[in-house]
């Protein structure tokens, strides 16, 4: 039996610029996860450790990161480690990360698969590699495995490794190294280790192809990431036994808050945040606001939530609300911030001309916080439809095409205005 750990898409050195000063903590987590996973491989007595592409974010990562990574590998001299260049870190020659000093002096257990070829893993087991040498290609990189397998003994266990997108209808780009869904069977190999997509995607080609996803989550949508694959191949022709091993250091959570049921959402969210307290330092959290809400209710909810989110490694508010003004708020806006009031009026008028949409600046909001408030009202009387010439005069300086304006575009414009209003009010 041959036992291996199959990983991919570590993306060491990922920037995470959207998280500002917290980005370094996310980068450090990836190193911690790699260290722990190598220890896990030793615990499971793995015969090999595979990295099926994208060990690094790109070929421009810092030398210090490359040295740190190689040192982690050096700490496990009895574990054979096989690294395949992917589309983020392709082997492009002298300018690639694989030609750095640290990789020119790697320990004997580390093997960088810079070129296509066959490696004898011992015990009549062979590794067939098809690395990437560029970032984009319409060629299936697994085709090379057919050629490589042809010269091997029929009774040998053959394991392939490459990197690319599975050619699933409507789920891949033609220039994203499309890999045939029967690539393992077509090549006559027992297992094909691939990487590229960041969610776990097993059970392809009757269980002979596995894409384990990134071992450390990197976005909220990747709810099936955070694993490596423990693969056991008992004999030639036998379907491998594959087990997902959780290894992630950080947890990413996305929670909803709908202002249509604001009080219930607040109670539910408070309970969930309390449950997450013990792991807050290792949690990347996003709360998504939705629904129709007044500026005052939105500001009040933010003021309640922001201190709670501050306890987490990352705590974000993703605002997708539509804002409404009641009569008192509208009158106050016109008095205190006439320019912003006029901007809202102009947005309403442009939207009316662009698509015949009813202005939503004053869409009625549910009375969840202030039942006694005056009902929302329409925009001021000045919100008469603009002429085409007036609209063109407004849009031309910004190079905005009238035919491309959508309801979502106008909703985002209004949101920006109200965010500006909140900043002015502070």
Q: Which tens digits make up the pLDDT trace of 109-146?
A: 999 999 999 999 999 999 999 999 999 999 999 999 99
Domain identity same for 30 and 158: yes
Domain identity same for 139 and 26: yes
Domain identity same for 308 and 351: no
Q: Of the ranges 181-185, 400-404, 411-415, which one carries the lowest mean pLDDT score?
A: 400-404
Please tell me which residue, 272 or 375, carries the higher pLDDT value: 272
Residue that has been written with the tokens 């013990």 in this structure: 278
Half-sphere exposure of 361 toward its Cβ, with a 13 Å CA cutoff?
28
Residue 276's pLDDT band (cuts 50, 70, 90): very high
Domain identity same for 39 and 115: yes
Q: What are 253's strand-pairing partners? A: 285
Domain identity same for 182 and 231: yes
Half-sphere exposure of 257 toward its Cβ, with a 13 Å CA cutoff?
27
User: Residue 408: pLDDT above 80?
Assistant: no
Give per-residue pLDDT as tens, 17-31.
Answer: 999 999 999 999 999
Residue 384's pLDDT band (cuts 50, 70, 90): low
Domain identity same for 344 and 399: yes
Residue that has been written with the tokens 């790699």 in this structure: 34
Domain identity same for 91 and 214: yes
Residue 69's pLDDT band (cuts 50, 70, 90): very high
**pLDDT in the model for residue 385:** 57
Boundary-marking domain end, from 209, 227, 246: 246
CA-to-CA distance for 65 and 8, rounded, in angstroms?
17
Domain identity same for 57 and 185: yes
User: Residue 375: pLDDT above 50?
Assistant: no
Rg (C-alpha) for the chain, rounded Å, is 28
Residues 222, 223, 227, 230, Cα dihedral to 10°: -110
Task: Indicate the number of domains in the chain.
Answer: 3
Boundary-marking domain end, from 290, 323, 356: 323
Domain identity same for 263 and 364: no
**pLDDT in the model for residue 422:** 65
Share of the chain above pLDDT 90, in %: 72
Boundary-marking domain end, from 246, 271, 303: 246
Residue 389 makes CB contacts below 8 A (sequence gap 6+) with: none
Domain identity same for 143 and 38: yes
Domain identity same for 202 and 57: yes
Q: What is the CATH number of the domain that holds 100?
A: 3.60.21.10
pTM value is 0.81
- Where in the sequence is the domain holding 21, given as residue range(s)? 2-246
Q: Kindly report the CA angle at 264 between 261 and 270, in degrees rounded to 5?
A: 130
Cβ distance 285 to 317 under 8 Å?
A: no
- Backbone φ and ψ for 291, nearest 5 degrees, come out as 95, 180
Domain identity same for 141 and 285: no
């Amino acid at each position: 039996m041959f036992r291996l750990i199959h990983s991919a898409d570590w993306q060491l050195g990922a920037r995470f610029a959207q998280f500002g000063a917290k980005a370094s903590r996310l980068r450090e987590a990836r190193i911690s996860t790699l260290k722990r996973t190598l220890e896990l491989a030793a615990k499971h007595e793995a015969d090999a450790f595979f990295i099926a592409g994208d060990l690094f974010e790109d070929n421009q990562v810092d030398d210090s990161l490359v040295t740190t990574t190689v040192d982690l590998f050096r700490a496990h001299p009895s574990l054979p480690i096989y690294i395949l260049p992917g589309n983020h870190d392709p082997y492009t020659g002298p300018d690639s990360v694989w030609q750095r000093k640290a990789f020119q002096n790697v320990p004997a257990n580390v093997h960088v698969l810079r070129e296509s070829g066959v490696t004898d893993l011992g015990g009549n087991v062979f590794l067939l590699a098809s690395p990437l040498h560029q970032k984009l290609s319409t060629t299936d990189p697994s085709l090379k495995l057919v050629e490589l397998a042809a010269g091997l003994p029929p009774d040998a266990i053959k394991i392939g490794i490459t990197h690319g997108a599975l050619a699933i209808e409507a789920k891949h780009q033609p220039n994203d190294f499309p890999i045939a869904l029967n690539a393992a069977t077509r090549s006559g190999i027992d297992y094909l280790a691939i990487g590229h997509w960041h969610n776990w995607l097993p059970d392809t080609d009757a269980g002979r192809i596995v894409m384990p996803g990134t071992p450390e989550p990197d976005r909220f949508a990747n709810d099936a990431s955070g694993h490596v694959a423990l693969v056991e191949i008992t004999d030639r022709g036998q379907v491998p036994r594959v087990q997902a091993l959780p290894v992630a250091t950080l947890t990413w959570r996305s929670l909803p808050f709908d202002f249509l049921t604001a009080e219930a959402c607040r109670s539910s969210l408070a309970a969930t945040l309390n449950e997450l307290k013990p792991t807050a330092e290792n949690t990347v959290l996003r709360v998504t606001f939705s629904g129709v809400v007044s500026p005052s209710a939105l500001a009040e909810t933010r003021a309640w939530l922001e201190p709670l989110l501050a306890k987490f490694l990352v705590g974000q508010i993703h605002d997708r609300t539509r804002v409404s003004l009641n009569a008192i708020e509208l009158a106050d806006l016109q008095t205190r911030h006439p320019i912003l009031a006029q901007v809202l009026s102009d947005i309403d008028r442009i939207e009316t001309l662009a698509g015949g949409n009813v202005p939503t600046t004053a869409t009625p909001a549910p009375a969840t916080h202030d039942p006694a408030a005056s009902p929302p009202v329409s925009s001021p009387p000045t919100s008469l439809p603009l002429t085409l010439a007036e609209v063109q005069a407004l849009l031309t300086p910004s190079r905005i095409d009238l035919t491309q304006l959508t309801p979502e575009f106008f909703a985002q414009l209004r949101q920006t205005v109200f965010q500006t209003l909140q900043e002015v009010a502070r």
